[in-house]
Structure 1
Amino acid sequence: MKFQRTLAAAAVLSAISSLSHAQTMPQGEQAAIPKVVVTATPFRAAEGDQILTPAKILAGDELRDKVGSSLGETLSQELGVSASGFGPGASRPIIRGLEGSRVKMLENGMAVSDVSGLSNDHAVAAEGATARQIEILRGPASLLYGSGAIGGLVNVVNERIPTHLEEKLAGQAELRYGTVDDSRNASGSVDGSAGAIGFHVDGNVRRAHDYTIPGPAALGEDAPPRRRLGNSFTRQETGGAGASLVGAWGHVGASVSLLDSLYGIPSGEGARIDQSQTRYDIDSMVKSPFSGMESVKFKLGFTDYEHTELDADSDPEVKFTNRSLESRLELTHKPVSGWHGTFGVQTENSHFAAIGADGGHEEHEDGAAEEEHGSHVTVPATHSTSVAGFLVEEREFGKLRMSAGLRLESVKRRPDGLLKRDFNLTSYSVGGMYPVAPGYSAGLTLSVAQRAPATEELYSEGPHHATETFDIGNPNLKKETSHNIELTVQKTTGLVRWKANLFENKVNDFVYGRVTGVLVEEDGEALRERLFEQADARIRGAEAEIGYNQLGQGLSMRAFADTSRGKLERGGSLPLQPAKRVGFDIGYKKGTIRTGLSVMRAMEQDRLASFEATATPAYTQVGANLSYTQKYRNHDLTWFLLAKNLLDDDIRLSTSLLKDLSPLPGRNFVFGVRTRF
């Protein structure tokens, strides 16, 4: 409570100071700060305008400074967002203490359809290095994008299918080198047009060796300083191309993308993951298709994903596959009795399996195939389908702006040889934002969102070597129901801007994996038994952020703090909870020079689940950036230097299953150059 009072006090003090400044600030300066549009909303509203799903957008120089080897690393210092930290190759965003299948990963508004939600050691199959912007939507986003977004969503926007025509060839390219892991990264994209056809090409190549750590790998271990963390390497190639027909009527286009990755899991066992994905997308939008409609959009995506978990000798152990077909139809109608909104239908059809390298069966002399012990089938082949209809509406009642939404969804799980399950899900939300004074507003959102248990939560019964667990699902799990309330106050104009959020999320029948302490012998390896169970849970938290001149020239500053606490109603904390954090950034931008310094302090995290043994020590993370932009043959050429973990602190994440075995990288200097043309 003391921490929350500190957040509230900071917001009040900033309000007093910023109110007096706003009154004397020239009107032109207030209007000069541009808005960045959120694409993953029905109204394409600007950041700060959201009611149902408060948004944060990373774009431009801010995104380039923060982009890392994984999506979790890139977003880990954003308000309310932490990272799972399963090595540099696999780090997934955690939003307000919720992770896995409760946080949905999107690419250009469509599901990434990887298996990163199953376990923290699985990388997100979306690349930040070629992204134009990354959108973080916290809160009940399930109304638009499905029950998998009960905790929020992250949308990686790369504009692979053009929606407008470039007058001339345009693009960007970047090279960077990191000292802590001898990493080399090259990325780029090109956009152009030929007549009414727009095209886009992008790619990224990353190579990184095992990274250096400040001291011992294991918590409390005696070891010489500055040594390499074994099996922390990453190798990745991605590429994509798209084209579309664009006109005053709208656009229609298609794209294809490829991903190939090999990365280590620094658990001490030498495990590594060989990952690949092929993705095809169709995107179309027609303006004013018929009377009463502003636009109709149709998207179709097919994903062929697989990864193989390898042992220390590079022999395959378990192969994960997921083939998914998703469609989405959205119609945005013109205002009717003051209501303006979007309605549509979304479908998904997927085949998922996690089978041992031997295929999960053995051949007998008569040629018949017989299933072996469940140790060779981590998750049986399962066919899942979902069909959903959604509606989101917005209306102004005087100064009060209201939003309301409803989503009805049917989910079916059809595993081979096991209990079939059907789930009918109903989610709804209502929210309002009221301007309490010029530039100031307060909002309240109430929502109920439901989630069907994921395939692995229902049907797992086998080894997961990368996490050193033997997972056992429960096919009788019930659907989760989340009741969320959120209060927001914010200042959105002037040089000084701030926001503060209080939230509570009560989840009935919360699904979680409980490590029992029982050891299961599997191929000579002792694995910890992990059971998927249900219990009522409650997550409470607070966030506050204040910024000065964030987008303008000259001096800029930002301070933030966030905390969340997840508890089971029957007693005990939820596992892998994020630490309380406070942070401060200061920057300076003038002409071609840009520089900045950031400091984040994470407190000790000793709120442990019943099966967690050690608290996570506090740490201080310090970073800096310096860049210079010059003109070269009519192109902008930017030379930059990034410094990460300047104090060479031993940083361990409370949200990581490997926190006792693998700290984050030590001091790292990243040198690079990028160009825009």
Structure 2
Amino acid sequence: MLRKKLVSAILLASGASVNAAWAEDSKQTQTTQLQKISVESQLNPPLEPVDISTSTTLQPSKTEMDRNGTASLGEALDGLPGVNTLETGPQSGKPVVRGDTSLRLPVLSNGMTMEYQAEGTRHNPNVDPALTERLEVIRGPQGLKYSSQAVKSAVNVVGPQIDYAGPGETKASGELMGEVNSNNNETMIGAKAKLSSNGFGLVGGVTKRRGNDFVTPDGPEAGDVAPGDPPGTKPLVTGTTPYTNFEGESAVIGAGYRGDWGEVELRHNYWQSKQNYLGVEAAPGEYELIPSAGQNLTNSETQLKAEFFAGDWVIKPKYAHTRNQRQAMHEVTYEDMDDYKDDEEYLDIVVHRDDYQLAVEHPEFFGWQGEFGVSGYTKDQDLRSGHLTPSATEDGAGIFMVEKQSFGPWDVELGARYDSQHVKAPLSSENAHFWDETGVYNSSNNSRDFSDWSGALGVAYHYTSNWTFTGNLGRSFRAPSIFELYASGAHGGVQAYQLGNPDLKAETSINTELAATWQSENLHSTLSVYSNWVDNYIVLENTETEEYCDHDGNCQPTQNLNYPYRLMINSQTNALIQGIEWSATYRMTPQLQWQATAEIMQGRDTKNNRDLPLMPANNATLGAQYTFGSGQYLAKPYVGLGTKYVAEKDSAGSYEPFSQFDSTPFGTASTKDYWLWNLEAGTGVKFGKQRLYLDLTVQNLMDVQYRDFLDTYKGYAQGMGRNFQLHARLPFKI
């Protein structure tokens, strides 16, 4: 009861909400953006008014990203209004935006589709946030330039940009980075650099991370429980959580040239992550902690883009090639995976993907400004070994248009897109497991075609210099993936046998949003209300059976898998996702600034009248930061305190991944409410013209025992305990 009162007090004290982290998506798009503050003479300058338009781009500020180091894309975005993270320890975190994640939430790399085999809850996007220029959450009509789904939401990862120097000018800059964490002894070292001269430019960066097993707060454990014992909620393990270590590295290099005719850039990204995941299996009379899987993810991506000026027209071709490899072995650590490459269960999937786009910005036409274009892709998935998803091909094409015009205080934006997609899983010998042995598909459904349109209408009314009201209406389309159609195999990372459905239909959705924004010199706030109606919503549903029956009624065991593995089958329903988001930034004094957010949302299976899986719990945050004046040796030292409240949430039943843990004698699929505190402090240390920036964050300050609803370890472990994180960076210019 006390916590509920405190949350209510936070909400009332903060006034209306604000989207305090919005940024500009492109030179064509006017979107709400966080004001970037770099004037050292003013501690916290007044909040400048920003133009609020119909398309939205949410973005953590560069200051926040610099101070809060993480290997997880989900954690880097967590805290933005409507954004949460689907996490598995500190190394693995996928963003969840208004209930959408994985295959339902496009992740883009510089505006091009990022291929990362997104079907699993523990498959990380190929991103180290330390090597990004900015991270964006996009939605509205402008999202249709990227994807039919982006009208709802998409995440765009923007890599380091070339800082072009003009004729006769040379510029060079960079940054050295380092980070240490006390909880799991995680370390990161990295460097970034930019060089440009006479229109030519280079950019590069590299990071390396390594972390040991993370540690949870000590507390009561389930003890010596055995299969068949009554349900219980205590964790199987507290303290050091085995099989949760990881290591990774990433690098980027790019080159470009800018002239009067336009510009051209070529860049290459490399990313690798090796991870272990904790699991549990039943032994006679007991449960045993095991490595549920070791995983080695590798991604190489090459992008070529250009802009050519033709009078008032801008022609923008783009091309990207990606090679993404996933290697995994259940009940084996990644350190020992090489010894099992000849095992028939060793999973090795390589995906080659080529993306093309040609967009054209046109001059103003009867007051309308915008762009149109075409896009296409080809995808070749090669199952080298293992039995999870077959070798298959996928290709698609799309055409889009986005236009905008202002009518006095009104902004109107229109977008439309049409996509077609073809998927085929051959009846080949290498795919015999899927069409011959388990009968997931046959010659009648191994090839599928999908096509549909998407569209969006956005309106913004600038009522006064302080008040702006916006509304958006959109329709989106998503074709089922190779995995959703044709999977059949043990998925060690989530301890389940997953089965596709070749008869799935495409998802379609109608999305609406209304928002009111107030902004002044000292307060920015926004309140948003949204609803998403989704037809043919695809879900993986747990079953109680441990055998699979094909279309001809032939039944067989899924595999010799120990409890608590479950068979999960793709099915479809209709869904309604609704929510309210709000956030605020309040400059109380030049030294003291407050921030608050809140989210209330619900996802319902309207066909079966039950909750949807993987929906975040309601939550609220409140934080304050005090900035001191600069001295002779210290530049703008600061101290901050923040808190986050997360409400209790019940599992969606058989739809919910890990739902079996609500009936085991340990762990849980449903979670109780919790309250976490973070403390932070930092400063810039002056060395002549140089600054060494040191930022210390104490996460989970009170060492609270908790389980987050979107934590995939909630079935047998807890969330990470107290962690001291020290982040250092040394920018330099030459």
TM-score range, shorter chain: 0.7 to 0.9
Amino acid at match of 1:519: E
Residue 81 of structure 2 aligns to a residue in which SS? coil
Question: CA–CA distance in 1 between the matches of 2:155 and 2:681?
Answer: 28
Report if the CA contact (8 A) 1:162-1:244 is conserved.
Answer: no
**1:619/1:203 CA distance change after superposition, 3 Å:** same
Distance in 1, Cα, partners of 2:477 & 2:419: 9
Match of 1:128 in 2: 129
The residue type equivalent to 2:352 in the other structure is: R
Partner of residue 606 from structure 1, selected from 636, 650, 658: 650
Query: For 1:243-642, what aligned pairs fall within 5 Å after superposition?
Result: 243-268=255-280, 269-270=290-291, 271-287=293-309, 289-290=310-311, 292-293=312-313, 295-311=314-330, 312=332, 313-314=336-337, 315-316=340-341, 317-354=346-383, 356-357=385-386, 376=387, 378-417=388-427, 418=442, 419-520=446-547, 521-525=558-562, 527-549=565-587, 553-570=590-607, 571-590=609-628, 591=630, 592=635, 593-606=637-650, 608-611=652-655, 612=659, 613=662, 614-642=669-697
SS in 2 for 1:531: strand
Which residue of structure 1 aligns with residue 437 of structure 2?
A: none
Partner-residue secondary structure (3-state), 2:160: coil
Equivalent position of 2:251 in the other structure: 239
For residues 531-557 of structure 1, the C-alpha deviation after alignment (integer angstroms, 9 at most, x for no partner) is: 11111110010001111139x951100
Partner of 2:25, secondary structure, is coil
User: Could you tell me how far 1:522 is from its partner in structure 2?
Assistant: 2.3
Letter in 1 for 2:567: E
Shift in Å, 1:341: 0.7
1:212-234 Cα offsets, whole Å, 9 max, x none, are 11136878336786x21111112
CA deviation after TM superposition for structure 1 residue 518, in Å: 1.9
- Write the deviation string for residues 552-580 of structure 1: whole angstroms up to 9, x where unpaired: 95110011110210001121110122100
What one-letter code is carried by the residue in structure 2 that aligns with 1:191?
K
- From the superposition, tell whether residues 82 and 43 of structure 1 become closer, same or farther in structure 2 (CA, over 3 Å): same
Letter in 2 for 1:39: D
Q: Give the SS at the match of 2:351.
A: strand
**DSSP-derived class of the 2:116 partner:** coil
Q: Distance in 1 between matches of 2:350 and 2:26?
A: 27
Residues 7-65 of structure 1: per-residue CA shift (max 9 Å, x gap): 9995898369x9xxxxxxxxxxxxxxx99742368526442756554221123221123
Instruction: Determine if the alignment matches structure 1 residue 185 to structure 2 residue 195.
Output: no
CA contact (8 A) 2:483 2:500 kept: yes
**Partner Cα distance (2:260, 2:139) in 1:** 34
**Once the two structures are superposed, what CA deviation does each residue of 1:179-237 show, in whole Å capped at 9, x if it has no partner?**
00011111221001243310011011101100111136878336786x21111112011
Which of residues 632, 641, 647 in structure 1 aligns to 2:702? 647
Choose between structure 1 and 2 for higher RCO, CA contacts under 8 A separated by at least 6 residues: 2
Contact 1:101 1:149 in 2 (8 A): no
Q: Distance in 1 between matches of 2:199 and 2:141?
A: 39
Letter of the structure 2 residue corresponding to residue 577 of structure 1: M
Contact 2:236 2:717 in 1 (8 A): no
Q: Distance in 2 between matches of 1:354 and 1:161?
A: 37
Q: Are residue 69 (structure 1) and residue 71 (structure 2) matched?
A: yes
Letter of the structure 1 residue corresponding to residue 456 of structure 2:
S
Structure 2 CA distance, aligned partners of 1:476 and 1:641?
A: 52
Q: Provide the rounded CA distance (Å) in 1 between the counterparts of 2:129 and 2:74.
A: 10
For 2:303, the aligned partner's letter is D
Name whichever of 509-518 and 645-654 sits farther off: 645-654
**2:113 aligned partner:** 111
In the alignment of these two chains, the number of paired residues is 632
Structure 2 counterpart SS, 1:586: strand
Extract unaligned runs of 5+ from structure 2.
Answer: 34-49, 223-231, 281-289, 428-441, 548-557, 663-668
SS in structure 1 of the partner of residue 610 of structure 2: coil
Cα distance between partner residues in 2 of 1:7 and 1:280 = 49
Written as runs of structure 1 = structure 2, the 5 A alignment for 1:6-45 is: 14=15, 37-39=23-25, 42-43=28-29, 45=31
TM-score by length of structure 2 reads 0.81
Deviation at 1:297, TM superposition (A): 1.5
Change over 3 Å in CA distance of 1:209–1:513 after alignment to 2: same
Q: Distance in 1 between matches of 2:237 and 2:479?
A: 48
Contact 1:84 1:653 in 2 (8 A): no
For structure 1, which segment, 277-286 or 160-169, has the greater mean C-alpha deviation from structure 2 after superposition?
160-169
1:267 positional shift:
2.6
Task: For 1:15 and 1:648, locate their aligned partners in 2 and report how far apart those are by CA, in whole Å.
Answer: 31
Residues 285 and 198 of structure 1: is their aligned pair in 2 closer, same or farther, counting only changes over 3 Å? same
Structure 1 CA distance, aligned partners of 2:394 and 2:151? 19
1:310: Cα distance to partner?
Answer: 2.4
Q: Please report the RMSD computed on the Cα atoms of aligned residues, expressed in angstroms.
A: 2.7
CA contact (8 A) 2:31 2:55 kept: no
Deviations 1:408-428 (Å, cap 9, x if unpaired)?
111111212252111112000
Match of 2:204 in 1: 201
Work out whether residues 121 and 265 of structure 1, in 8 Å CA contact, stay in contact via their aligned partners in 2: no
Q: Please, which moves more after superposition, 421-430 or 618-627?
A: 618-627
State the 1:164 CA deviation.
5.8
Tell me the CA shift for residue 434 of structure 1.
Answer: 0.4
The 1-side partners of 2:9 and 2:708 are apart by 26
Partners of 2:21 and 2:14 in 1: CA distance: 26
Question: Counterpart in 2 of 1:78?
Answer: 80
Query: Does structure 2 retain, via aligned residues, the 8 Å contact 1:163–1:251?
Result: no
Secondary structure of 2:103's aligned partner: helix
Alpha-carbon distance in 1 for matches of 2:364, 2:706: 52
Structure 1 Cα separation of the partners of residues 483 and 100 of structure 2:
17
Note if contact 2:391-2:425 (Cα within 8 Å) is conserved in structure 1.
yes
Q: Look up the match of 1:59.
A: 61
Structure ranking higher in strand proportion: 1
* TM-fit CA distance, 1:302: 0.5
Q: Deviation at 1:398?
A: 1.6
